[in-house]
Amino acid sequence: MAIPIAVLAYLVRTQFGPLIGLDQDVSTAATDATRSHDGIHSFAQTWEQLSQPWVMYALVGVPACVFAWARLHLRTRALWALATMATGWLVAALLKLAVQRARPVVEDPFAVHHGYSFPSGHATNNAIVVTAVLLLLRPALSSTARSTALVLGVIWVLLTCADRLLMGAHYLSDVTAGVLLGVGLCAASYAGYVGWSPPTPNDTPSKEAADDDAHQVA
């Protein structure tokens, strides 16, 4: 997923006409819809607060890691998830500084959004938290619970992306890059994690190692 992210970043930096035009058209249509419907405006404002990166980390990501550590005894998985979420947040922040894209210019804006635009911090960090938590808790979930959690996670991330467009905070390419970065980084990190065998103090596998082994087979 690094390839499409790099391509998008390059096209944004070079002001590639077709992409810039598409971004502007989508942004205009989305903000017009928000301005024309009070219900959409109220939803977008509420969702913007619910999906704040610090809210997702504080109320979803970190508690899930604590639960996995303390109750499920999946300790290396919990450490993996924490490290992945921290790394993802840092990578997204550095990428913003590298691209330095200005926020959309919206007539009669709904809110003031600071910082650079590419990639969307909301989209990136929500994708990171959702993906990391799904992978973290996967060994403890039944097949039905995994499918349900996946559907809910996808809906959450898509609504967050839509919210950024409706609020005029980001362009379509910003949220697209954010989702690719969040999901791709977690997938790559997890591939590295499951390829490493956690050391055990004796020959009897711990509950955590057994769960991890079962997950790898699945």
Per-residue pLDDT, 60: 94
Per-residue pLDDT, 205: 41
Q: What is the CA radius of gyration of the chain?
A: 19
> What integer best gives the mean pLDDT of the chain?
87
Q: In this predicted model, what pLDDT tens digit does every residue of 192-215 receive, in sequence order?
A: 888 765 555 554 444 444 445 444
Q: In this predicted model, what pLDDT tens digit does every residue of 79-117 receive, in sequence order?
A: 999 999 999 999 999 999 999 999 988 777 777 778 899
In whole angstroms, what is the distance from residue 42 CA to residue 48 CA?
Answer: 10
Per-residue pLDDT, 202: 54
Per-residue pLDDT, 196: 66
pLDDT reading at 7 higher than 60: yes
Per-residue pLDDT, 35: 87
Q: What is the pTM of this model?
A: 0.84
Per-residue pLDDT, 97: 93
Per-residue pLDDT, 18: 94
> String of b and e for 55-82 (b: at least 16 CB within 10 Å)?
ebbeebbbebbebbbeebebbbbbebbb
Looking at per-residue pLDDT, the higher value among 39 and 207 belongs to 39
Per-residue pLDDT, 201: 54
Mean pLDDT of the 106-134 span: 88
Contacts by residues 49-53 (CB-CB < 8 Å, ≥ 24 positions apart): 51/122, 51/126, 51/156, 51/159, 51/160, 51/163, 52/122, 53/89, 53/121, 53/122, 53/125, 53/126
> String of b and e for 168-196 (b: at least 16 CB within 10 Å)?
bbbbbbbbbbbbbbbbbbbeebbeebeee
Token representation of residue 201: 């103090």
